[in-house]
Amino acid sequence: MNEGELTAMQRTRLIITGSPFSEPHFKHEGEDVVRWLTGGTRPDAWVTFHPVEDGRVEVRCANCQMVLGYLPGDLEKEETVRVVGEIRLAGHTHEPLGGFPPRSQCV
């Protein structure tokens, strides 16, 4: 089968995985996944999540790895919202190193 005989989905899989029949796997969990805390008028924060032994989730700056706060392990809504708000208002404005557009280019 040559590339001209592939469906659009198969061509996409070929580009992403190297095989027209392989399923792509995107990393969406783990300590090296950068999360963008954004929305509303509060400052943005680019962070990574790191589980700690007591069940909480340590939130670090994606750039300098400074600890910015701790989320509850059960992600209880009110406490999570409070902590995320504190992190965003803390004034820690590092953007991640490379691979992400600058804040001024984000819509």
Measuring CA to CA, which residue among 51, 70, 44 is closest to residue 59? 70
- Alpha carbons 32 and 26: distance in angstroms, whole number: 13
Average pLDDT of the segment spanning 70-89:
92
End-to-end CA distance of the chain: 41
pTM of the model: 0.67
Q: What is the pLDDT of residues 33-60, one digit of tens each?
A: 888 888 888 888 889 999 999 999 999 9
When pLDDT is cut at 50, 70 and 90, the band that residue 31 belongs to is: confident
pLDDT at residue 107, rounded to an integer: 47
Burial letters 70-98, b for 16+ CB under 10 A, else e: bbeeeeeeeeeeebbeebbeeebeebeee
Q: What is the pLDDT of residue 59?
A: 95
Instruction: Report domain extents, the chain.
Output: 1-26, 31-105
10 Å Cβ neighbour count for 50?
A: 15
pLDDT interval class at 101 (50, 70, 90): low
